[in-house]
Amino acid sequence: MAERFLAFVLAAACLGLWCGSAAAAAPARVVSINLCTDELLVQLADPAQVASVSWLSAASAGSNVADRVMDVPQNHGFAEEVVAARPDLVLAGRYTARAAVSVLRRIGVPVVDADAPGTLDQVKAEIRRVADAIGHGDRGDAMIAELERRMSRPTPVRTPKLRAAVLRPNGFTAGPGSLSDELMRRAGLVNVAAELKLDTYGQLPLETIILAGVDLLIVDGDRAGPPAIATEVLSHPILAKLGDRVRVVKIPPRLWTCYGPSIADAYDILVDAAGSAP
């Protein structure tokens, strides 16, 4: 009862005070509560439109826009913070901060859910969706065109193709259906994890990856992060002892964790690796 009353009051406040302008073509105040939508928002919107971004995009290790959000207010994905920022539009990820999103929807705040794309086409679709939602479709088109240009770079032809596997903290890898898998295949690599019948992002024991016979091990690049058991697997002595049998390729996770122009940078590294001597 109390909850419903609260929702009613919030909705009334929303209607009476500031939600009226949400219908306008270009929302004046946009809040993003997801790292990936943060990046698109910062890159596509007018600075004045950005009301707040998630705290993750200010943490430099995982973010491509850390230097550009220094002065932008941060949120932690709580509905209360978001409402207080009086947004005309909220950008959220389909799999993150769901509790906040459902509250926001209930009190009538417009929310755009961005999907986690598994293919390049879906990446483009997500960029377009976010760009349209914030009223800058033209900038979205330009971003997509630039991405297409960089992704069309010729890939090395080589037989047999080099075999590669992604090794993330906690032994997670990138299986079939993931964006990483598509980028690897596109760059002319064989994704070993795809042979091992994994889910999209499965956990693999180290010995399985090693015995599957990999030429390239793709690990997180900048590993100056805080100590964690999760990242210990990346410094396991066996990786050093593999010697020239396996080459370690470093890709900073921020390059291809999200769907933005930075995946072209990850792609460049993959193509270079695929073309190099084994």
HSE toward the beta carbon, residue 129, CA cutoff 13 A: 19
The phi and psi torsions of 245 (rounded to 5 degrees) equal -65, -40
Q: Which is nearer to another protein, 93 or 140 (CB)?
A: 93
For 13, the 3-state DSSP assignment is helix
We find the least distance from the C-beta atom of residue 210 to another protein, in angstroms, to be: 6
Using CB under 8 A, list all residues that contact another protein. Answer: 62, 169-171, 202-203, 205-208, 210-213, 225-233, 236-238, 241-243, 245
Distance of CA 170 to the CA centre of its chain: 19
We find the least distance from the C-beta atom of residue 163 to another protein, in angstroms, to be: 13
Q: Which is nearer to another protein, 107 or 204 (CB)?
A: 204
We find the least distance from the C-beta atom of residue 270 to another protein, in angstroms, to be: 24
We find the least distance from the C-beta atom of residue 241 to another protein, in angstroms, to be: 6
Q: Which is nearer to another protein, 62 or 275 (CB)?
A: 62
DSSP states of 75-143 as a string?
Answer: E-S-HHHHHHT--SEEEEETTS-HHHHHHHHHTT--EEEEP--SSHHHHHHHHHHHHHHTT-HHHHHHH
Residues in the chain: 278
For 153, the 3-state DSSP assignment is coil
Q: Which is nearer to another protein, 73 or 205 (CB)?
A: 205
- Residue 62 · residue 253 · CB < 8 Å: yes
We find the least distance from the C-beta atom of residue 178 to another protein, in angstroms, to be: 17
Q: Which is nearer to another protein, 99 or 228 (CB)?
A: 228
Q: Which is nearer to another protein, 48 or 229 (CB)?
A: 229
We find the least distance from the C-beta atom of residue 224 to another protein, in angstroms, to be: 11
- Which residues sit opposite 203 in a β-bridge? 172
